[in-house]
Amino acid sequence: MERTLIVGLGNPGKKYARTRHNVGTDAIEVLAKRLGVSLKLGRDRAQIAETRINGQAVVIAIPTTYMNDSGEAVGPLARRYKIEDPANIIVVHDELDLEPGILRLKVGGGLAGHNGLKSISAHLHTDDYVRVRIGVGKPSSKDVGADHVLSSIPAAERRILDVAVEVAVDSIESIISNGIAAAMQDFNGR
Q: Catalytic residue numbers?
A: 21
Q: From the centroid of its chain, how far is CA 116?
A: 10
Q: Are 60 and 42 in contact (CB under 8 A)?
A: no
Give me the torsion for CA of 99, 101, 107, 113, rounded to 10°: 50
What's the angle, vertex CA 57, arms to CA 51 and CA 63, rounded to 5? 60
Q: What's the CA gap between 87 and 89, in Å, rounded? A: 5
Which DSSP string corresponds to 55-107?
TEEEEEEEESS-GGGTHHHHHHHHHHTT---GGGEEEEEEETTS-TT-EEEEE
